Amino acid sequence: WWHLQGNPLWLQYIKVPLVTLGYETSYDVFVKAHTGGVSGQAQAITLGIARALLKVSADHKSPLKKEGLLTRDSKVVERKKVGLEKARKAPQFSKR
């Protein structure tokens, strides 16, 4: 039983580690993801499932690595700077 709000493609994205190794019917996965958007939650769940499967057997590393499922997306939101409206947006410049 799968429940994920939003685009059904995220559901397919979450199943990729299991499908890659041929375990789509072998494991029951229960996950709660908090905060962030649906996209980020789907990516976090996928990474968690891939890491869990890696702990089951070290032989799973090469197929998971080839699919790029063991790599975390390192992009984070840039902080807002003092004197700027947002991280990079400066107030409108006036000559006079």
On whether the CB atoms of residues 32 and 25 are closer than 8 A, the answer is no
Query: What pTM does this model have?
Result: 0.78
Tokens of 50: 């891939």
Q: Convert the pLDDT of each residue in 46-82 to its tens digit.
A: 999 999 999 999 999 999 999 899 999 898 899 999 9
On whether the CB atoms of residues 45 and 31 are closer than 8 A, the answer is yes
| Spatial distance between the Cα atoms of 41 and 63, rounded to a whole number of angstroms | 23
